[in-house]
Chain A
Amino acid sequence: MAKQNDIKYLTSTRVEKRAKKYCRFKKLGIKYVDYKDAEFLKKFVNDQGKMLPRRITGNSLKFQRKVAHAVKKARQMALLPYVTDLLK
C-alpha cells in the first residue's frame, strides 16, 4: 500500500501563486478620493458601471467606503453612468 506522501506526480502539480492584493490607497498614501476624477474611479467599477467588490479591488474597508461615496457622487453629477454596457 502506497502511503499518501509516496505518491509522486510526473509533472509538478500546478499551484497558482497569486500576487498578494493590497490597498492602493494605503500603499500610495492617498487620503482623499476625489469624486470629480472620473477616470480614476473607473478602476473601481466593471464594464456595466457597477462597483467592484473589495474581494477584487483589495481596498481596505475605510477606502472602499470612500470610493463608494465618490462613485455615487460622480454618478449624480453625470460623470459616471448608472447603467451602461462597455464602459471601458
Chain B
Amino acid sequence: MVIFTPVLAEDDFKAAQKKFSDLIKEHGGVVTYANPWGLRSLAYPIQKKTTGLYVVLEFDAPTELIAKVELQLNRDENVMRHMVNKLDKHAVAYNLRKRNKNTAEVVAS
C-alpha cells in the first residue's frame, strides 16, 4: 500500500503507479491485483497535507525484490508513506473473495 502526494495530476498518478508495477515485473515479480483507491482524506496530516492518493498493490515477489522496491519507494519524492506486508494464506483467500465479490457487483450493475 502506497500513499502518494495529492498534488499529482491524474496522468502523473497513473505514471507513478505504472513505475512501481513495472519495477516489480522487471525483477521477476507478478502483480496479482492493483487497486487505486484514489484521493482520500488522511486521519492525521502527513507532511502538512490532509489528503492522499492511495494505491493498493498485491504482488508475488522473490525476497530480494522487496528491498529494491522499498529503496525506490523511499527515494521517490511523490511517495508520502508506504507499507509492504507479507500476506498469509487467510489474507490471500480474503482478498480473492473480496475481489470476486466486487467484480460480481460490477457485472450485476
List A residues at the B interface (Cβ < 8 Å): 31-32, 34-36, 38, 73, 75-82, 84
B50-83 interface (Cβ within 8 A of A): 52, 56, 81, 83
Q: B residues 22-57 with Cβ under 8 Å of A?
A: 42-44, 46, 52, 56
- The size of the chain B interface, using a CB distance under 8 A, is 16
Binding site for A on B (CB under 8 A): 1, 3, 42-44, 46, 52, 56, 81, 83, 85, 88, 90-91, 93-94
Report the minimal beta-carbon distance from B79 to chain A, rounded to whole angstroms. 12
A73 lies within 8 A of B83 (CB)? yes
Q: A36-B1, A79-B43, A82-B44 are in contact. List 6 more A-B contacts (CB 8 A).
A: A32-B91, A36-B56, A38-B43, A78-B3, A78-B81, A80-B43
